[in-house]
Structure 1
Amino acid sequence: MTPLARCSPALFAWLLCGTLDIVYAMLWSVLAGGSVGGMLRGVAKGPFGDGAGDWGLGGALAGLATHYAIMGAMVAAWFAAVRQLPALARQPWWLSGTLYGLALYLVMNALVLPLRFDTPFPPADLVKGAVALFPHIVFVGWPLAWLTRKDNR
């Protein structure tokens, strides 16, 4: 365990999950023919409006900050849930992490994105839906559940 993980588990989880998730998004953006900057400016459009897409480096940095702010809320919600429901941390990490990742996916893709960008849910393209579900489970839910697991190592 790293010194940061021992000192501040929530901070470590936030940095780990946030970094895993954004690296995935960056790679996926490039593989899909886009750019990292364009993807980050797209994230910035959520809270800052469509004009953020024209902000250049500033828009990309705003998108990165937005991403980590959202990830902070996701991590904080998990730590609060584990504190309120300690049995959650005693479940198999892969199960509780999968369920939490699925819940995050549903909040983001069935609520937040349709309200802000009028995106359809469920997505018409199931591959795009799976691409969006994967990181919520593997890069957020699983690491959080692994880091907070109790008696199920």
Structure 2
Amino acid sequence: MAHAGRRILVAALIAGTLDIAAAAILALQAGRTPDRMLRGVASGPFPDATGWGAAGAVLGLAVHFAIMAVMAAVFVLAADRLPLLKARRVAAGIGYGVATWAVMNLVVLPLRWPAVFPHLDPQTVATQLFCHIVLVGIPIALVAARR
């Protein structure tokens, strides 16, 4: 189990860093600041966090990595029980990226912000699928397959 814990941590750090970097770039492209985006992340579990300044942004970063740790743990633990996920790691990572996109964008975000989500315009879906597949699913699957 210690080895699984190490892979979960590494996968969460890699995928979490890639994903939050992409989110910061997308925020800047949309004319928003990364700290505002991070406060938005924190406002999921802490609705008042949008007004908490730097503390809200730091909390948003912690919330993001906590979510990523759960995503990594689910895949790593599943891959340890289903050898096909390790044998077909890239395909599994693509599938997991699509699954994480669907759960976040079609379930989690609409439950928290039903008036705002889901965003299903083609450009947003393509961008989010890219991020979830290339920056989250595949890196987590590659780390999970390590011995």
Length, aligned pairs only: 142
What pairs up with 1:33-112 in 2 under 5 angstroms? 33-49=31-47, 51-91=48-88, 93-112=89-108
Q: Which residue of structure 1 aligns with residue 9 of structure 2?
A: 11
Distance in 2 between residues matched to 1:15 and 1:32, nearest whole Å: 25
Unaligned runs of 5+ in 1: none
1:47 Cα deviation after fit: 0.3
Distance in 1 between residues matched to 2:94 and 2:120, nearest whole Å: 23
Unaligned runs of 5+ in 2: none
TM superposition score normalised by structure 1:
0.86
| Aligned residue type for 1:70 | I
1:94 Cα deviation after fit: 2.3
| Aligned residue type for 1:47 | P
Q: What is the identity percentage for the equivalent residue pairs of Structure 1 and Structure 2?
A: 43
User: How large is the RMSD of aligned CA atoms in angstroms?
Assistant: 1.8
Distance in 2 between residues matched to 1:83 and 1:66, nearest whole Å: 26
Shift of the 63–97 alpha-carbon distance from structure 1 to 2, 3 Å rule, reads same
Q: Which residue of structure 1 aligns with residue 18 of structure 2?
A: 20
